[in-house]
Amino acid sequence: MALIGAGVWGETHAYLYNNHDDVNLQAICDLQEDKAQKLADKFNIEHVFTDHKKMLAEVNCDAVAVVTPDFTHPPLVLDCAEAQKDILLEKPMATTRKGVQKIINVVKKQDIRLMVDLHNRWNPPFAEARKKIKEGEIGKPVNAYFRLNDKMWVATDMLSWAEESSILWFLGSHTIDTLQWLFDDKIDRVYSVSHHGVLDKKGVDTEDIYQTVLEFKQGGIATIENGWITPDSHPNINDIKFNITGSQGMINIDTTNNGLLEMYNQDGHENPDTLVNHFVHGRAEGFAYKSILHFVEKIKKGEDFLVSIKDAADTSLVILAIMESAKKGKPIKVDYDI
């Protein structure tokens, strides 16, 4: 494999490939050479590049992981696909309709395989909820509530590119994918309102929060909240609350303050969500790792990915509709025609 992007999440990918018996991580590329070199030294990666086209021309790899900022994905995917590489692409697939179109077309044309890393499908309580729903335990899903927020620190400190993205791309893509997966249905119409100003005052010109109502094609409804202004004193990086109610039952999920682990010291306390990413006896164990390992496994076995390319494309198209709705102040029908 080869890896494009040596940032926060690129390091996670590098760690996993370096520890995987079936993967030889041959090359890493980042526009910032020092970042790529640092990970190359840490994970024994032989080749370092600052130009992905040069890497694709010189390195003989089967697959490439694209782990660059949200808005940079389409041209990198196009070049990897044209070089006949299978691709693990970080979410979201693309932040424009044109970007989605280009990716769908190139994957078809080059006959390569692509998975978008919508990893909440591996989150144990959500995977269990999907199983229960499929088994008919709550009847037909009727309505859902899903809050998926980040601490403000993510927008102000962790991501240097927050204002070129949005909380909808960064976390909302998980919200939309999870809901369409659990309802086993596509979203037909959206109505969203957003708030601007809190982050702007801190020098990050992006929406603080989107509150959105979703209508599914078969009549289901959901209310979602995606915000980037949860106070930094919050004990967990994410604030997650979830409910789905069906014709015969209901499921609640609260992975924020699950009480699995409470940590206190003289400066404060933390409730880290040990389901996402953590280490047990030196081995990576969280669900955010499982999706990356799934890509490797399915490439090796030639089997379908849990996240189809269509589902990932549709997720981006729903988010574009949400943004349009918030901008125009009216409900918008999702346009899946690409």
Ligand X SMILES: NC(=O)c1ccc[n+]([C@@H]2O[C@H](COP(=O)([O-])OP(=O)(O)OC[C@H]3O[C@@H](n4cnc5c(N)ncnc54)[C@H](O)[C@@H]3O)[C@@H](O)[C@H]2O)c1
The count of chain residues that interact with ligand X, using the rule CB under 6 A, is 25
Query: Among 3, 23, 27, 52, which residue interacts with ligand X (rule: CB under 6 A)?
Result: 52
Secondary structure string (H, E, C) spanning the chain: CEEECCCHHHHHHHHHHHCCCCCCCCEEECCCHHHHHHHHHHHCCCEEECCHHHHHHHCCCCEEEECCCHHHHHHHHHHHHHCCCEEEEECCCCCCHHHHHHHHHHHHHHCCCEEEECHHHHCHHHHHHHHHHHCCCCCCEEEEEEEEEEEHHHHHHHCCCHHHCCHHHHHHHHHHHHHHHHHCCCEEEEEEEEECCHHHHCCCCCCCEEEEEEEECCCCEEEEEEECCECCCCCCCEEEEEEEEECCCEEEECCCCCCCCCEEECCEEECCCCCCCCEECCEECCHHHHHHHHHHHHHHHCCCCCCCHHHHHHHHHHHHHHHHHHHHCCCEECCCCC
Residues 148-167 that bind ligand X (CB under 6 A): 159-161
Query: Among 1, 29, 312, 318, which residue interacts with ligand X (rule: CB under 6 A)?
Result: 29
Min CB(66)–ligand X separation in Å: 8
Residues 164-183 that bind ligand X (CB under 6 A): 170
Query: Among 5, 99, 220, 227, which residue interacts with ligand X (rule: CB under 6 A)?
Result: 5
**Cβ distance to ligand X smaller for residue 107 or 244:** 107
Q: What is the rounded distance in angstroms from the CA atom of residue 184 to the CA atom of residue 308?
A: 13
Residues 63-102: x/- map of binding to ligand X (CB under 6 A)? ----xxxx-x---x-------------xx-----------
Query: Among 31, 78, 127, 204, which residue interacts with ligand X (rule: CB under 6 A)?
Result: 31
Query: Among 1, 23, 25, 35, which residue interacts with ligand X (rule: CB under 6 A)?
Result: 35
Min CB(146)–ligand X separation in Å: 18
Query: Among 30, 86, 150, 311, which residue interacts with ligand X (rule: CB under 6 A)?
Result: 30
Query: Among 9, 145, 153, 336, which residue interacts with ligand X (rule: CB under 6 A)?
Result: 9
Min CB(285)–ligand X separation in Å: 16
**Cβ distance to ligand X smaller for residue 138 or 177:** 177
CA-wise closest residue to 68 among 4, 160, 119, 12: 4
Q: What is the rounded distance in angstroms from the CA atom of residue 70 to the CA atom of residue 73?
A: 6
Piece in contact with ligand X (CB under 6 A), picked from 24-32, 214-222, 259-267, 328-336: 24-32
**Cβ distance to ligand X smaller for residue 124 or 136:** 124
Min CB(282)–ligand X separation in Å: 21
Q: What is the rounded distance in angstroms from the CA atom of residue 33 to the CA atom of residue 176?
A: 35
Which residues are registered as beta bridge partners of 200? Answer: none
Residue nearest ligand X by beta-carbon distance: 7
**Cβ distance to ligand X smaller for residue 159 or 190:** 159
Handedness of CA 20, 25, 30, 32 (dihedral sign): positive
Min CB(194)–ligand X separation in Å: 19
Residue 42's contacts (CB-CB under 8 Å, 6 or more residues apart) are 11, 14
Query: Among 7, 74, 227, 286, which residue interacts with ligand X (rule: CB under 6 A)?
Result: 7
Query: Among 24, 32, 218, 252, which residue interacts with ligand X (rule: CB under 6 A)?
Result: 32
**Cβ distance to ligand X smaller for residue 68 or 236:** 68
The two structure tokens encoding residue 124: 């144990």
Min CB(71)–ligand X separation in Å: 9
Min CB(171)–ligand X separation in Å: 9
Using CB under 6 A, list all residues that contact ligand X: 4-10, 29-32, 35, 52, 67-70, 72, 76, 90-91, 159-161, 170
